[in-house]
Amino acid sequence: ALQNSLSSRSVKSIGRTQYRLNPQASYKVAILGAAGGIGQPLALLVKMSPLVSSLNLYDIANVKGVAADLSHCNTPAQVSDFTGASELADCLKGVNVVVIPAGVPRKPGMTRDDLFNINASIVKTLVEAVADNCPEAFIHVISNPVNSTVPIAAEVLKQKGVYDPKKLFGVTTLDVVRANTFVAQKKNLRLIDVDVPVIGGHAGITILPLLSKTKPSVSFTDEEIHELTVRIQNAGTEVVEAKAGAGSATLSMAYAAARFVESSLRALDGDGDVYECAYVQSDVTDLPFFASRIKLGKKGVEALISSDLQGLTEYELKAVEALKGELKSSIEKGIGFAQKQP
Ligand code: NAD
Ligand code: LMR
């Protein structure tokens, strides 16, 4: 989407392709945790979006240099830096989309839930500031464990009296990006054609690719389904192990997060055909939060695509039942944390 959007706005002039300064660039995006492994490449990709007029970068340290560096790119977005809690409110004023990749990443041997003790408080504090300064913004939560940090964010917004479930998203785009890549590789398909919905949550068995709903329609052996499902579920761990202590996915995550930002901006801009998977408040199952395909509109989630959960294979039906216990307890853990805090 980012690529399409960029190329559709490029113009040919005397044999050279240039990006024209888009007169329609009018959206403000803030990244909280912008100096980190995800934050920096994400900031670069968002700086390339012709829909962005202001890009506000916030972190507790090292964000000045990132902003100075990015500000030299000749794309429309005006880059500003904000360091530390005293500058957070200014970072958020008037912002349309807030992306939150702040927090610690995994090391080998850890689960995403092992990050809860540190990241839960970080997300809570940042979302409080979002509630106070840009309660209308779309909020994209990347910080893990997403299965719990999104319910924490929802509770914080409720406590502040500004919760709009249509505007709070756990970012699961990377699961879709991975599923599309692995399926295209396995079946020798053109990457651009492949789309696999991924539902449930964002940890281990809660990540459930619906391979039977792959577009274009593909047939898999039982063995292929199992192998692909497990690889998609463990793809984060694959990267954590390859990085051997230096963190988790950052570049592919930035790519995925930029796609979700661009989709949100297109929806805000009135595009009536924007679909993504995301972890949101949901009634497609009996769990209060669930990732599924959603239709995005100007006001956030316009529809949950519950039809994806119809006509599942036996393998998928069993997997949906199997993930519910873990997802439920991660949701309850997040809600419990937010309700206990002063
Ligand atoms: P990182 O350590 O490289 O960067 C995190 C950044 O957050 C740092 O710059 C740090 O200074 C900043 N930070 C810490 N406390 C902060 C606070 N209170 N306010 C603002 N900024 C703060 O980590 P990373 O690799 O960028 O990963 C960040 C998070 O994203 C981790 O929790 C990781 O597990 C998660 N993640 C999620 C997905 C997903 O699919 N949703 C994918 C990859 C990583
Ligand atoms: C991922 O899926 O890559 C992220 O959730 C980071 C992790 O800890 O695996």
ipTM value of the model?
0.99
Which atom of ligand 2 sits closest to the CA of residue 253?
Answer: 3
Which atom of ligand 1 sits closest to the CA of residue 102?
Answer: 7
CB 313 within 8 A of CB 207: no
What percent of the chain lies above the pLDDT cut of 70? 92
Kindly list the protein residues whose Cβ atom lies closer than 6 A to any atom of ligand 2.
105-106, 112, 144, 174, 202, 236-237, 239-240, 248-249
Query: Cα angle at 260 between 254 and 263, to 5 degrees?
Result: 140
Question: Atom 16, ligand 1: which residue's CA is nearest?
Answer: 102
Kindly list the protein residues whose Cβ atom lies closer than 6 A to any atom of ligand 1.
32-33, 35-39, 59-61, 101-106, 115, 119, 122, 126, 142-144, 146, 171, 174, 202, 247-250, 253
Q: Which of 87, 119, 140, 143 has most ligand 1 atoms within 8 Å of its beta carbon, as the pocket-test mutant?
A: 143
- In this prediction, residues 124-138 reach a mean pLDDT of 98
Helix (H, G, I), strand (E, B) or coil at 280: strand
Residue 23 has pLDDT above 70, yes or no: no
pLDDT digits (tens, 9 = 90+) for 155-204: 999 999 999 999 999 999 999 999 999 999 999 999 999 999 999 999 99
Q: 19 pairs with which residues across the strands? A: 10
Which atom of ligand 2 sits closest to the CA of residue 106?
Answer: 8
- Using N-to-C axis directions, what is the helix angle for 116-133 and 314-340, rounded to 10°? 70
- The pTM of this model reads 0.94
What percent of the chain lies above the pLDDT cut of 90? 92
Give the Å distance between the CA of 120 and the centre of ligand 2.
16
pLDDT digits (tens, 9 = 90+) for 65-87: 999 999 999 999 999 999 999 99
Pick the catalytic residue from 72, 140, 202, 226: 202
Query: Cα angle at 66 between 79 and 39, to 5 degrees?
Result: 90
Catalytic (active site) residue 202? yes
Six-digit token string for 98: 């807030």
Residue showing tokens 């007169």: 23
- Nearest ligand by distance to the CA of 112: 2
Listed in order, strand segments (DSSP E) in 164-309 are 168-170, 198-200, 207-209, 274-281, 289-297, 300-304
Residue 7 has pLDDT above 80, yes or no: no
- In this prediction, residues 36-62 reach a mean pLDDT of 98
Residue 14 has pLDDT above 60, yes or no: no
Residue 20 has pLDDT above 80, yes or no: no
Amino acid at the residue 270: G
Query: Could you give the C-alpha distances from 38 to 151, 169, 228, 296, in angstroms and in order?
Result: 22, 17, 25, 24
Cα 150 to Cα 330: distance, rounded to the nearest angstrom: 10
Six-digit token string for 95: 């912002």
Residue 293 has pLDDT above 70, yes or no: yes
Question: Atom 5, ligand 2: which residue's CA is nearest?
Answer: 236
Helix (H, G, I), strand (E, B) or coil at 124: helix
pLDDT given at position 342: 66
Cα 34 to Cα 105: distance, rounded to the nearest angstrom: 14
What's the mean pLDDT when you consider all of the chain? 94
Cα 253 to Cα 195: distance, rounded to the nearest angstrom: 17
Give the N- to C-terminal CA distance of the chain in Å, as an integer. Answer: 42
